Amino acid sequence: MDPESVPCTIKLPVPLQVGDVKTDQARPGVYVIDVTFPKSQDVDVSEISFKNYYTAFLTVRIQQQRRPSDPRGNPPAWRTCIKSQRLMPNPHMEDGSQDYVSLRKSQMICGTDHVTAIRLILRQPSPVWLNFTLEDLQINPSGKQSPQKGFSWLLSQLPPKEQLQSLHKGLPDPNKVSSEVQQMWALTEVMKANQSTATIGRFDSGCATQVANERILSRT
Query: Which residues of this protein are in contact with other proteins, per CB under 8 A?
Result: 147, 150-151, 154, 157-159, 163-164, 167-168, 170-178, 180-185, 187-200, 202, 205
Looking at residue 194, what DSSP letter applies?
Answer: T
Minimum Å distance from CB 1 to other proteins?
16
Comparing CB distances to other proteins, the nearer of 19 and 159 is: 159
Sign of the torsion formed by the C-alpha atoms of 17, 22, 24 and 27: positive
Comparing CB distances to other proteins, the nearer of 171 and 216 is: 171
Looking at residue 41, what DSSP letter applies?
Answer: -
Comparing CB distances to other proteins, the nearer of 3 and 38 is: 3
Comparing CB distances to other proteins, the nearer of 100 and 185 is: 185
Instruction: Please give the Cα distance from 14 to 5 (Å, whole number).
Output: 24
Comparing CB distances to other proteins, the nearer of 67 and 169 is: 169
Minimum Å distance from CB 133 to other proteins?
33
Minimum Å distance from CB 181 to other proteins?
5
Nearest-5° angle of CA 121, CA 29, CA 80?
Answer: 20
Residues whose CB is less than 8 angstroms from the CB of residue 16 and which lie 6 or more positions away in sequence, other chains included: 28, 29, 30, 31, 32
Minimum Å distance from CB 39 to other proteins?
19
Helices (H) and strands (E) in the chain, counts: 4, 9
Minimum Å distance from CB 7 to other proteins?
14
Other beta carbons less than 10 A from residue 126's beta carbon: 14
